[in-house]
Amino acid sequence: MQVVYLSSKSYLTRKRYFMLRLENFLFFLMAFLWIVVGSFQVAKYFQKIKLPLITGFLISGVIVGPFFLKLVSDEALPNLQIVNEFSLAYIAFAAGVELYLKEIRSSIKSILWNTFGQLVITFVVTVIAIVLLAPYIPFLARLSQSNLLALAILTGTIFVARSPSSAIAIINEMRAKGRFTKTAISVTVIKDVLVILLFAICLSIANTLVKGIEFSYFFLIEMAVELSATFLMGILLSRFLKFVFSFKLNQYLKIAVLLLSGYLIYPFSKYVHHISEVYLPFEMLIEPLLVCITASFVLVNYTNSRIEFQATIEKIGPAIYAAFFTLAGAMMSLDILAYTWKIALLFFAIRMVGMITGSWIGSSIAGDPKLFRKIGWMPYVTQAGVSLALVMVVSNSFPEWGTELATIVIAVIVLNQLVGPPFFKWAIKRVGENHNLAKDHYEHSHRVLIFGYENQSVALTQELVKQNWKVSIATRKCVGDIEEIPNVNFYYAEDNLEKTLNDLNLSEFDTFVLLRSDNANYTVCEWIYEKVGKRVVIVRLNKRENLKRFYELGALVIDPATAFVNLLQHFVRSPLATSLLMGMEPDKDTLDVVVEDKNLFGMALRNLRLPTDVLVLSVKRKGQLIISHGYTRLRQGDVVTIVGSVESLNKVSLQFGSFKSVTD
């Protein structure tokens, strides 16, 4: 297809001109979306070398951009501005989702002071450093004082921004849980919210400086009006989205409405700006990013649409990030970068100094441990969505020097993407909050001792080993009469059972399975009850008259005479639920988690941020099963039984802070 560009409307009717513009736009858009599909596949190879997907998207964009393959040409970039605006709206929505107030109630002092250090100190250090070093940097030396100050405060704002999506990805990968991790993710999210607010203020100040308007108290009133209007629009947008999500519509239709409503804030903001220029004594600048993040914050914290809204945001995230970061890479001006790479390294060093200083000051005031003060800056190196979003706004708002600044800052962001994840991973390991290795997890839990060696105990052992349990078997059979099982310990049980129990360190086991005679099983069960304490004890019953004796010791009893019939009955009455609980459904499982995270104490079940495919089955408190509902509030030590996909169950176990067996 031949693409036609017209410099004048005189040759065609206005209708024909509009149709050609629309045709060009659709051509470039469809071609770019096809490129994004390829970029997504290429970016997966970056994960194999331990780099984030976002880095892969950026580099893919550079390769297909005007300086290499030219699949995305200079002529195409203006037609793709709509991709930027859709993506920026989504990024703001996603940042607001992470700011869930009920999860950051504890450790609030540390979070606030670390946020202060990272936000204020980093911003101040960056601005001062750029202003002082400007005479020695050709790119900055040619700017006027007002333009230099505008550039400095906008750069300082961008350097404060962090990447919640990258942080969450690393935390999930490391299965990280603890005070350091919770503080890091809370500061990251709160800081990105405040960054957008700070950026709106600094953008207004920068416009005033560049246009040469003298400072007056009227300027403060103007700024207050702009922020008030922005927050009001955010609240109105949240009401509209709540209305949309209250209907049982197709999820893809809701996604379309969400993205379209976020995008429309941009033309509406431009319209308000134009109207204010004509009819008001001042120009009103409404920040679309702040509107979207306000709407998201209100939806998540003050409406019943939180779970569905969060699920929608998570579903469309990969596609949006692929399009946005690929386009950002294509827009990088490599010709400018070729002679400004030294400046990019200098800016990177300035940001690092600001973060280290801010982290140390904030952690010291908060009274954090010494180790936290030393490495507290490491979680905040990586930058991504919000940073690039702000860069694009600066580039479009100040074309005189915005393009050069955007290229330099994007280079800094790419560098931060390369070194940030390794720093954060190392910090998590250094404070001992990583739980990604199986041996680290199971050395302290999921240890079972089976009394009795037979076909059933061997079959049970093999299944438990597959699930990474540490299994031991106590048997009276000699070594030559048993078949060795890999990763399973065998203990010889003498005829004198009490001597055997004395020799075994039963306190190191969480669960016991008793498959011997009723008398022997009762001796072991009573010993555990009196000498070891509360444990999960499972007994295979031989004679039904002994049932009550085991129940009195808190044992879980399986009666072979009725177990098969009961199982058949449950399959007849509820085949799906029974097959799920029996572990017969692919990629589905049940899990008992212990409430250990202080942030969850007193939280109602309905306020938990659970994956959409996870369901709470029951809550057990102090040995008693309670009838749970949405308003049931969790307490320390509660055992919550959940069902869902294996991947989602792993996420929930991290959220509850449960890395131990329910009997620990």
Which candidate, 621, 599, 511, places its Cα nearest to that of 555?
511
pTM, 2 dp: 0.61
Give the CA count within 13 Å in the CB-facing half-sphere of 109. 6
Whether residue 96 has pLDDT greater than 70: yes
Residue scoring higher pLDDT (642 or 440): 642
Q: Which residue has the higher pLDDT, 363 or 282?
A: 363
- pLDDT value at 473 more than 70: yes
Beta pairing partners, 537: 512
Q: Average pLDDT over the chain, rounded to whole?
A: 79
CATH entry 3.60.15.10 includes domain 14-436: no
**What fold is seen in the domain 441-566?**
Rossmann fold (3.40.50)
Q: What is the pLDDT of residue 539?
A: 92
Q: What is the pLDDT of residue 2?
A: 44
4 pLDDT exceeds 60? no
- The domain spans of the chain are 14-436, 441-566, 587-656
Give mean pLDDT, residues 428-447.
Answer: 59
Q: CB–CB of 280/222 below 8 Å?
A: no
pLDDT greater at residue 437 or residue 436: 436
Beta bridge partners of 642: 591, 616
Listed as own residue / partner, the contacts of 75-82 with beta carbons closer than 8 Å and 24 or more positions apart are: 75/3, 75/5, 76/28, 76/31, 76/32, 77/330, 77/331, 79/24, 79/25, 79/28, 79/29, 80/28, 80/29, 80/32, 80/327, 82/25, 82/29, 82/263
Going 36 to 37 to 38 to 39, the CA torsion angle's sign is: positive
Bridge pairing between strands 470-475 and 447-451: parallel
Least confident piece of the model among 100-104, 339-343, 405-409, 656-660: 656-660
What is the average per-residue pLDDT within 176-195?
A: 78
CB 507 within 8 A of CB 449: no
Largest CA distance in the chain: 106
pLDDT score, position 3: 46
User: DSSP label at 121?
Assistant: I
**Mean pLDDT confidence for 593-610:** 78
On the question of pLDDT at 662 being above 50, the answer is no
Q: How confident is the model over 233-255, as pLDDT tens digits?
A: 999 999 999 999 888 888 889 88
The per-residue pLDDT for 280 is 78
Lowest mean pLDDT among 99-108, 189-198, 422-431, 640-649: 99-108
CB neighbour list of residue 368: distance below 8 Å, 6 or more residues apart: 110, 114, 183, 376
657 falls in which pLDDT band (50, 70, 90)?
low
CB 229 within 8 A of CB 255: no
pLDDT mean over 613-620:
80
Class of domain 587-656: alpha beta
Query: How far apart are the C-alpha atoms of 448 and 400, rounded to whole Å?
Result: 69
**Amino acid identity of 254?**
K
Q: Coil, helix or strand for 397?
A: helix
For residue range 116-142, list pLDDT tens digits in order. 888 888 899 989 999 998 888 887 888
Query: Among 42-46, 73-77, 485-489, which stretch is predicted with the lowest mean pLDDT?
Result: 73-77
Residue 104: per-residue pLDDT: 63
Task: Give yes or no for residue 649 having a pLDDT over 80.
Answer: no
Of the listed ranges 152-166, 174-188, 297-311, 464-478, the one predicted with least confidence: 174-188
The stretch 459-480 carries a mean pLDDT of: 82
User: At residue 402, does pLDDT exceed 80?
Assistant: yes
- Provide the pLDDT for residue 587: 67
Single-letter code of the amino acid located at 232: L
**CA quadruple 73, 74, 76, 81: dihedral sign:** positive
Other beta carbons within 10 angstroms of residue 108's beta carbon come to 11
**Phi, psi (rounded to 5 degrees) for 422:** -60, -40
Mean of pLDDT values over 333-352: 80
Q: Range with the lowest mean pLDDT among 254-258, 423-427, 577-581, 600-604? A: 577-581
Question: In the predicted model, is pLDDT for residue 586 greater than 70?
Answer: no
**What pLDDT is attached to residue 441?**
36
Q: Please, what is the end-to-end C-alpha distance for the chain in angstroms?
A: 69
What pLDDT digit, counting tens, does each position of 497-549 carry?
Answer: 777 888 888 888 888 999 888 888 888 888 888 788 778 899 998 888 888 88
pLDDT number for residue 582 = 61
- Percent of the chain topping pLDDT 90: 6
pLDDT at 22 over 60: yes
- Please name the residue that has the structure tokens 């919640």: 164
* Model pLDDT, residue 513: 92
